[in-house]
Structure 1
Amino acid sequence: MNKVFQKIVAFTQTRYMRIMTNGFMSIAAVSIAGSIFTLIKSLPIGAWQNFLTASGLSEILSIPVSITSELMAIYVVLAMAFQVAKEFKKDGLTASVIALGAFMILTPFTAVVYNADYTVATPVSNVIPVSSMGAQGIFLAIITGIVASRLYIFFLDKGWTIKMPDSVPESVSKMFEMMIPGGLTFLIFLAVRWGFSLTSFNTAQAFIYAILQGPLVSIGGGFWGLFAYLVVAKLLWCFGIHGGMVAYSAMATIMGTVMAANAAAFAAGTAVPYPEWAFNAMLMDAHVLPLCLIMLVFAKSKQYKTLSKIALPTSLFNISEPLVFGLPIVMNPIMAIPFVLTQIFNVVSTILVTNIGLLAAPTGAGINNMIPLPILGALLNSHWSGFVWALIIIAVDALIWLPFFRVQDKKALEEELKLETKEA
């Protein structure tokens, strides 16, 4: 089993997996900035929502949400190209600009405009459809960012550049240096665009979405994708592997796509297309606070009484590391069982009560997961049921943790008594 996990970790540390992971992490600030306005807009207070609608502030607050969700492909292509250049020790800004140009070359310049009642569709030329810049374009953005940047670097390394005299200012010299590598990269992507125009797909975006993004998201964007992401992450943690990072590396492209689609739906005021993933922020570390509360109330050993007090502030904000390493849960078969069981219960039960209508569906708002659990639950679906369900999760998770923690605490207490006897 350890060999399997070692291979998984080794795969996530390969050059291009590392580039994709770091690329998505580097644009997290954009999502967080958008989530601040999402949080303000989605506060589940009736009077506040009525005020936003009546004053027109609701539409204004939707703008930052839209420029993060509906333009996510642009951020992705820039981030991927920059990380490739960084990996090969080249200028990241230039590579990012070239990659963005290559992405725009592949972007269709036509859109469909509907009349007021959506009965007549009229094709319009020389426009860039916003849909190409959002969730639908993320997979193409990843591929283009990596390939375009790598091509540019390849041409640079071959020395296919215009060399200027040393007397020429560096800024001017760099401009001429990038002309041939950049031009050749554009030429290749222009040929790709022309090639796709001869097929039934017509555009690279349509091809990627139909062949790759659509099928992957349809599988990973539902319940089983979320289940695998969360449960596998916890299993890896049990063996001392940073499960969140490994699982994120494997699912980053799918997660980026579904989260962007959910955020766009929230901004438009429509139902989220991937409701399971909309609960990810709450489900990721929902079992941390229950464990800390169990320790705080029931611990008899000195070490766990102390640990519970130290970990309580971080546990309130769903930060698990103090308990994962302090208890520890890592390489601890006793605590590993409830660590995984609580995650399974939280995922399955949350989706179940949502599907049968006991829990209001999530809005798709991108809420930061470092918010106390009951409040986070209410913000995710802008409904009191989110608050109540978070309390139920805390109670049930605590019951699951309790018998296992008693065994762990008993062992710790016995060791403390033996140590005290020996010292006496």
Structure 2
Amino acid sequence: MIDKVQNIAAKISSQRHLVALRDGMASAMPLIIIGSVFMLVANFPVQGFTDWLADIGIQTFLNKASNSTFGIVGLAVTFSIAYNLAKHYKVDPLSAGLLSLGSFVLLTPILDNNGFPMQYLGSAGLFVGIIVSLITTEIFKFFVNRNITIKMPETVPPNVSRAFAAILPGFFIILFWFIIMLLAHYTGIDDIHALIANTIAKPLSVLTKTLPGIIFVIFIQCFFWMFGIHGANVTGPIIEPLLLQNSDANRIAYQAGEELPNIITYEFLYNFVFSGGAGCVMALAILIFLFSKSKENKTLGKLSIAPVSFQVAEPVLFGFPTILNIKMVIPFVVAPVVTTLITYFAMDWGLVGKPVGAVIPWTTPPVIAGFLASGGKISGAVIQIITIAINMAIYYPFFKMDDNEKLKRELAD
């Protein structure tokens, strides 16, 4: 059973297109986090501070810095997915990335003033960017591997030779997307982004727009983690683009002073729900550190409390262990589900501030992460303290049973 699950998960997580998608999203994360910092500064929930920023004319520029980083994530992901997939195929990644960018812009509708809709350069363009980058790179690889390129003499510098080698594949790639654009136009579709959103993104969004959907995702992640497989790596390529779209929608609403549309966002799952990492093991790490009687757990507690505080869960996952430990399945799954329910309804009822769209680095310690992700609201920190305390109660009987067993073994030796 374990071998079968591990084999299936390994095939999924190592599939080249999913790996390129995962790595491409990761490459864009610095832009997202930098943009989130500028957005938090520009809209920090202290009226006197934001009024001062507005009076001196800085707030507009801070928001522009956010829009110029977080707001171009669609463009960035389009380039980086193609780049990473081309590297896997050992073809010129720079040419593949640039051709994907050109194809993406070609498919993006033009406004009456000859500008581009800003939302499609950002998270709203993610799904078209993903599709374009994957298909473009496959076409590029097809031409290059069959030597359907312009070959230059060996005396020509390599960078010039690579540029000329991309001309023929690039022409057919742009021609391919040009034909797709024309076919769409003459069938009454002038916005391919909207078409993709309605046919692909909207059905998938049930996983990240609804409470049952995100609980299902959590179950899947916990299931793979229990077999020693990084659950987020398996589900990430599918759900993270959707979660980032939700975060970006909240960011735009927050900057405009409007009601935040989403509770379930990237930071909701990775900052509010998984405190300490997979299985909400921050609670277990605190129990091990404070209440262990066995020498083994006392040592583990001292070694693990610092890394787990920064969301590095591996010392507890593999050292306690919780991975491949049937006795820990119940708290490992129940804790994040309970945390999700409590946090979701606290936000839905207005007791806790919703995530404002600021994507917080995953290594940010709990409580601080909740404060920042909710836009500097104390309620965001308080809900994390409450859920960690509840998770400690969930983990306690299982921790105590394990600690007693280890203590008995040590006394018997």
Paired letter, 2:289: L
Q: Distance in 2 between matches of 1:231 and 1:43?
A: 35
1:300 aligns with 2:286: no
Whose radius of gyration is greater, 1 or 2?
A: 1
Match of 2:76 in 1: 75
Paired letter, 1:146: L
1:288 aligns with 2:288: no
Render the CA deviation track for 1:218-253: whole Å, top value 9, x for unaligned.
443332332223332122211111112112133233
Alpha-carbon offset, residue 152 of structure 1: 1.7
Paired letter, 2:383: W
Match of 2:243 in 1: 255
What is the aligned residue count?
A: 406
Render the CA deviation track for 1:166-206: whole Å, top value 9, x for unaligned.
33333333332222111111111111110100123223222
1:388 aligns with 2:382: yes
Q: Distance in 2 between matches of 1:250 and 1:28?
A: 16
Match of 1:279 in 2: 268
1:240 aligns with 2:245: no
Match of 1:371 in 2: 364
Q: Distance in 1 between matches of 2:47 and 2:219?
A: 36
Instruction: Identify unmatched segments of 5+ residues in structure 2.
Output: none
1:93 aligns with 2:86: no
Query: Aligned runs of 1:17-416 on 2, under 5 Å?
Result: 17-41=18-42, 43-45=44-46, 47-110=48-111, 124-277=112-265, 278-280=267-269, 281-286=271-276, 287-381=280-374, 382-416=376-410
RMSD value over aligned CA atoms? Answer: 2.1
Taking only the aligned residue pairs, the percentage that are identical comes to 29
Alpha-carbon offset, residue 42 of structure 1: 5.6
Q: Distance in 1 between matches of 2:43 and 2:409?
A: 50
Render the CA deviation track for 1:311-367: whole Å, top value 9, x for unaligned.
111222222111111101011122222121111110011101211222222322222
Alpha-carbon offset, residue 4 of structure 1: 4.4
Q: Distance in 2 between matches of 1:307 and 1:218?
A: 40
Q: Distance in 2 between matches of 1:245 and 1:172?
A: 38
Q: TM-score, normalised by structure 2?
A: 0.91
Paired letter, 1:361: K
Q: Distance in 2 between matches of 1:144 and 1:83?
A: 14
- Residues 175 and 276 of structure 1: is their aligned pair in 2 closer, same or farther, counting only changes over 3 Å? closer
Render the CA deviation track for 1:58-104: whole Å, top value 9, x for unaligned.
33222232123321110011011101211110111111111111111
Quick check: 100-109 or 208-217, which moved more? Answer: 208-217
Paired letter, 2:252: A
- Residues 39 and 125 of structure 1: is their aligned pair in 2 closer, same or farther, counting only changes over 3 Å? closer
Q: Distance in 1 between matches of 2:6 and 2:160?
A: 50
Quick check: 264-273 or 241-250, which moved more? Answer: 264-273
Paired letter, 2:288: M
Paired letter, 2:405: K
Alpha-carbon offset, residue 272 of structure 1: 3.0
Quick check: 269-278 or 234-243, which moved more? Answer: 269-278
Q: Distance in 1 between matches of 2:258 and 2:135?
A: 35
Q: Distance in 1 between matches of 2:174 and 2:219?
A: 43
Q: Distance in 1 between matches of 2:84 and 2:167?
A: 21
Q: Distance in 2 between matches of 1:42 and 1:203?
A: 32
Quick check: 176-185 or 201-210, which moved more? Answer: 201-210
Paired letter, 1:386: G
Q: Distance in 1 between matches of 2:197 and 2:207?
A: 14
Q: Distance in 1 between matches of 2:313 and 2:45?
A: 27
Instruction: Identify unmatched segments of 5+ residues in structure 1.
Output: 111-123, 420-424
Tell me if structure 1 keeps the 8 A contact 2:215–2:340. Answer: yes
Tell me if structure 2 keeps the 8 A contact 1:151–1:185. Answer: yes
Q: TM-score, normalised by structure 1?
A: 0.89
Q: Distance in 1 between matches of 2:319 and 2:47?
A: 42
Q: Distance in 1 between matches of 2:395 and 2:199?
A: 44
Alpha-carbon offset, residue 155 of structure 1: 1.5
